[in-house]
Amino acid sequence: MQIQLETQPYASIDSDAIVTYVFDKDDKLDGVLGEIDRAMNGRLGSLAASGEITGKPLELLLLHFPEGLAAKKLLLVGAGKPEKFANSDLRKIAGTALRHLKSRGVKKFVFLAREGQRGPAAAQAAVEGLIVADFESNKYHTDKKDREIQSVALAGFDSGLGADLTAAIDHGRVLAESQNFARDLINEPSNKLTPRLLAAKAEAMAKEAGLGIEILDERKIAELKMGALIGVAQGSVEPPRVIVVRYTPENPRPGGPVLGLVGKAVTFDTGGISIKPANNMEKMKYDMGGGATMLGAMRAIAALKPSVPVIAVIPATENMPGGRAQKPGDVQVAMSGKTIEVINTDAEGRMVLADGVFYARKLGCTHLIDAATLTGAIEVALANVHVGAFGTPREYLDTFLESAKAAGEKMWPMPMDEEYQQMIKSEIADIRNTGNGKGGGASTGAWFIKEFAEDTPWIHLDIASTCWVDEGRPWLAKGPTGIAIRSIVDFALKM
């Protein structure tokens, strides 16, 4: 999909459709809306008077052959109350418009900015919304509908800001395409995305983006004594991989911080010997969502070039109940030397992250972020509304939450009190891989990972309930969301 700035007056642009948005209490019809209303001989005013245009969030009104406009359709999207309006609303508005018009066979349209949202930040948000909304999960359909948005023209933006606008559009495109890159990976079924195939895809991405990459195979993993990862992987005939991707800035500051991004990539989670019920088990192909998130973030980082070096470490494995599988009660020795009593083989994500996080520190990372589809408990706490964000020290987490806010991704700080640490004490090893069964499952899971991050500033994002949505939204297809990438990249850029 092409997206370009349009400087021609919007009324004369010949296109399939023109999209703009209407605020709640916008009945004065000023600015752009007033212009359109006058061109249409007051028709918008009459529609508003009859209650057809209310400005309620994402309410849609599609008018055909609007007078005074060269475009064939006019789509008005409700924008809610102006005092509450933020760039995240612009993403949703642009995305909703795209999905609505695409389903009606529109090929090209104009997105018309309004007074107050004509600068680079607004342009970036609109571009992000458009590209994320354009994503489809149709790779394995043999009979594809030929619905395609070929181009979107951005009109009404402040032409005095030419270069800044172009940069913002590029920035938005990189972020959204990286998000879609991750979503494509997350969609892949596990027979098409084993740990080895994920490593190959990471390699191809790294080559294209100009990133360094190293793939650790099962021999290297054994040599490094990654016992927690091996414990999970031993139940499968597919060998594990650890994917290490590196971004090095042009003039790295000697002795400066190094950001480590660790992503859980369980390409399929059956639960292992503590096997999961059959119902919905097919969804466990997305248990590599944390790893995909970090690959998506690295792809964007390569293009946006923060000044901090970034290393992604992605432990990839299946969790299978094969004849050699680890069993409840087994004790594994992690790379750090800590011993783990495996109470439940389905709590495998924290085990692969234990070695991933420790290895990232070995590689010199001074600051860590991990992302993982770690617990069902996070869905109980936050539904699919917020990502669960854990971290120590608290100030480090708070800085990250600022980035999440800037990126328009909802995340909620979760507790890391020491009482949760007590719950993963084991009778026979240093720690156990589950809590005591009396709740707090997301926090005990986080504490398990922290045992390997120790005092390194660390953030853990539990994306189990937000990485995938079962129901589409007007601005987003159902399936993988690509959440957390924008926040992580924003954080890296500000570090």
Residues in touch with ligand BES (CB under 6 A): 269, 287, 344, 346-349, 373-377, 434, 441, 464
Residue 434: contacted member of ligand BES, Zn ion, none (CB under 5 to 8 Å, by partner type)? ligand BES
Indicate the length of the chain as a whole number: 495
How far apart, in Å, do the first and last CA atoms of the chain sit? Answer: 32
Residue 417 corresponds to which amino acid?
D
Smallest separation, CB 288 to Zn ion (Å): 9
Among 349, 391, 441, 480, binds Zn ion (CB under 5 A): 349
Q: Which does 464 bind (CB under 5 to 8 A by kind): ligand BES, Zn ion, none?
A: ligand BES
Instruction: Supply the minimum distance, in Å, between the C-beta of residue 25 and ligand BES.
Output: 41
Q: Which of ligand BES, Zn ion, none does residue 393 bind to, with CB < 5 to 8 Å depending on kind? A: none
451 binds Zn ion (CB under 5 A): no
Nearer to ligand BES, 403 or 465 (CB): 465
Give the CA dihedral 161, 166, 167, 168, nearest 10 degrees: 80
The item of Zn ion, ligand BES, none sharing an interface with residue 384, based on CB under 5 to 8 Å by kind, is none
Minimum Å gap between C-beta 374 and ligand BES is 6
By beta-carbon proximity to ligand BES, the closer residue of 340 and 347 is 347
Residue (of 124, 172, 459) closest to 294 by Cα position = 459
Residue 348 or 409 with smaller CB distance to Zn ion:
348
Q: Helix 162-187 crosses helix 120-133 at what angle (to 10 degrees)?
A: 30
- Is the torsion defined by CA of 155, 158, 160, 163 positive or negative? negative
- Min dist. Cβ of residue 463 to Zn ion (A): 11
Closest to Zn ion by CB, 154 vs 292, is 292
Rounded CA-CA distance 141/137 in Å is: 9
Nearest to 431 by CA among 446, 451, 416: 451
| Residue 344 binding result from ligand BES, Zn ion, none, given CB thresholds of 5 to 8 Å by partner type | ligand BES
CB of 57 to Zn ion, least distance (A): 35
- C-beta separation of 100 from 134 below 8 A: no
For the bound state, the minimum distance from the C-beta of residue 269 to Zn ion, rounded and expressed in Å, comes to 4
Please select the residue that binds Zn ion; options are 269, 355, 370, 462, rule is CB under 5 A.
269
Which of 15, 1, 18 is closest to 156 using CA atoms?
18
Q: Which does 75 bind (CB under 5 to 8 A by kind): ligand BES, Zn ion, none?
A: none
Which residue type occupies 414? M
Q: How far is the CB of 349 from Zn ion (least distance, A)?
A: 4
Q: Do residues 118 and 168 lie in contact, with contact meaning Cβ atoms separated by under 8 Å? A: no
Amino acid at 264: K
Q: What is the DSSP letter of 425?
A: B
Give residues 138-197 in contact with Zn ion (rule: CB under 5 A): none
Which of 107, 196, 246, 276 is labelled catalytic? 276
Catalytic residue among 350, 361, 432, 450: 350
Closest CB to Zn ion among 32 and 232? 232
Q: Is 276 a catalytic residue?
A: yes
Distance CA 72, CA 14 (A): 8
φ and ψ of 489, to 5 deg: -70, -40
Q: From the list 24, 26, 89, 287, which residue makes contact with Zn ion (rule: CB under 5 A)?
A: 287
Catalytic residue list contains 241: no
Of 177, 346, 355, 462, the one binding Zn ion (CB under 5 A) is: 346
Q: In the complex with Zn ion, which residue's Cβ is closer, 211 or 316?
A: 316
Minimum distance, C-beta of residue 373 to ligand BES, in the bound complex (Å): 4
Contacts of 340 (CB under 8 A, 6+ apart): 228, 231, 331, 332, 333, 334, 351, 354, 426, 429, 430, 431, 432, 433
Contact 131/1 with Cβ under 8 angstroms? yes
| Of 53 and 347, CB closest to ligand BES | 347
With CB under 5 to 8 Å by kind, the binding choice for 375 among Zn ion, ligand BES, none is ligand BES
Q: Do residues 218 and 273 lie in contact, with contact meaning Cβ atoms separated by under 8 Å?
A: no
Q: Please name the residues in contact with 113: beta carbons below 8 A apart, sequence gap of 6 or more.
A: 20, 122, 123, 126, 154, 155, 156, 157
Q: Which does 441 bind (CB under 5 to 8 A by kind): Zn ion, ligand BES, none?
A: ligand BES
Q: Measured between alpha carbons, how far is 121 from 161 in angstroms, rounded to an integer?
A: 11
> Which residue, 434 or 487, has its beta carbon nearer to ligand BES?
434
Which residue numbers are catalytic? Answer: 276, 350
Interaction site with Zn ion (CB under 5 A): 266, 269, 287, 346, 348-349
